[in-house]
Amino acid sequence: MGLEIQQDVDTRNAMRPAIPQFGFEYAFEMVGDEKSFAVHLHAYKVHKLVTFTLAEAHIEIQDANSKTFHATVGLNDEGACMLYVDGQERLSWHVRKMALDHLLFGIV
């Protein structure tokens, strides 16, 4: 999931206008014990982040509004590896959207 998130950040940065007065930066970096990473938004008077932390049985995600949710990994009935949020089967892109949409598109 980390590589996919890095690609999401790179794609969003490529869409950003190159206007000096309108500047923000998304930084993908490891945090602390390397079981966590964050995506940061740095803009004029706006500093937000989304964190992803690997726990024993789930991935804990705190979005830009400080709302936390958990994603667990499992196999569905077809044998595909899936993520589950609140008992609902989710593809990786959907969990990334849940975590990053507001940070990447809704704050500035």
Reported confidence tier of residue 20, pLDDT bands at 50, 70, 90: low
Return the pLDDT at 60: 95
Return the pLDDT at 72: 97
Q: Check: pTM over 0.85? Answer yes or no.
A: no
Is the pLDDT score of 23 beyond 60? no
For every residue of 20-88, DSSP letters joined together read: TTB--EEEEEEETTTTEEEEEEEETTEEEEEEEEE-SSSEEEE-TTS-EEEEEEEE-TTS-EEEEETTE
